[in-house]
Amino acid sequence: MFKRNKLVNIVKLYFSILVFISLLFAKPYRGGELRTIESYKYGRFEVRMKSAPGSGVISSFFTFHDYWADGHTSSAYWNEIDLEWLGRYNDKIHTNLIVHDQWDLPELLDLTFNPNEEFHTYAFEWTSDIISFFVDDQLIKTVDNPVYVDTMNREQKIMMNIWQSTSAGWAGPFSASSTLPTYAFYDWVKYYIWVPGTGNAGTNNDFILLWEDNFDSWDTNRWEKATHTWDGNNADFIYANVVFQSGYMILCLTTPSNTGYSGDPLSIETKNIPLSFSLGDAYPNPFNSNVVLPVSLQKPGEIHFSIYDIRGHLINSSVNRFLDRGKKNIHWNGTDQDGKSVSAGTYFLRVSNKDASITKKILYLK
């Protein structure tokens, strides 16, 4: 018994030392990163998002060759294509390429809108000949220098993260008390495979859409959350700061005591974007059997309809394809995806297409 107690005490001491060491070397803030499990070589990489505001804050959409996972430690294996948003600016986007031995090609480009307040679509096309960057399908930058393009030749994962940079000269000075928590919102991500001469999308129709993720939930077959950090990053990445809610993937930069997303789902709504559709008021509201949501379409197309509960959990969803413009009605009868009646309470009806999304709040009575 004495030996057993001694062993238990040694184990407790060991774990106490590990906890102390982890606290000693922990970063002061908590961020988040989502990355694909699969890696890709060439293609069109596209996202619709709203970046995180705040001096010293970086939110991103990029691809990266995870050479550490391949067992390499040398930067000679580094490949990375970056779109980054520096929260200190309300009218700029940062692009960069990183190839072997950390050669990089950073450039800060002007925007005609505030990316921290509005959802917009961003993309880059990566082929064996050229790398091009786009904002709302408008070309903003091309790189065809063989020094970069020829050496950007390794498969890369699609990644998104939010972090606090220690480089005040680049990211700006940081104040946790006036900035945190801050969030970046991601509406969807699309990946198009590069098929020169035979595609139907992108530059010269050289790309075909392979998959799209609308972030109605965490697809664990496609995405994994990260737990790491690096020199120059003042935040540790944690699972809790990658949140799937109300049809968005939300990356959170927080203090250690206030992790996750605690905002109102309605605060994520699209603002100041010309809409290809509009919504009327849901009726009757409150309702107890069937609710009608009027939709006015400016052009034919596909409309996604999703219902979320007050906690942001997806309850039901559907896709409506309309062949003509004009006024339409979308119905919901108070059931979940399996056809079972939901409990009484507050729900959010979200309607979206590739351009925008709008959310309405309703009350279901029984």
Active site residues: 80, 84
d(C-alpha 86, C-alpha 255), whole Å: 19
CA distance 49 to 60: 10
Neighbouring-strand partners of residue 338: none
CA dihedral 324, 326, 332, 336 (to 10 degrees): 40
Contact yes or no for 93/113 (Cβ under 8 A) = no
Residue 104, Cβ neighbours under 10 Å: how many? 12
Amino acid identity, position 274: P
How far lies 182's CA from each of 101, 163, 218, in Å?
A: 33, 10, 21
What is the rounded distance in angstroms from the CA atom of residue 149 to the CA atom of residue 294? 49
Cβ-contact 303, 318 below 8 angstroms: no
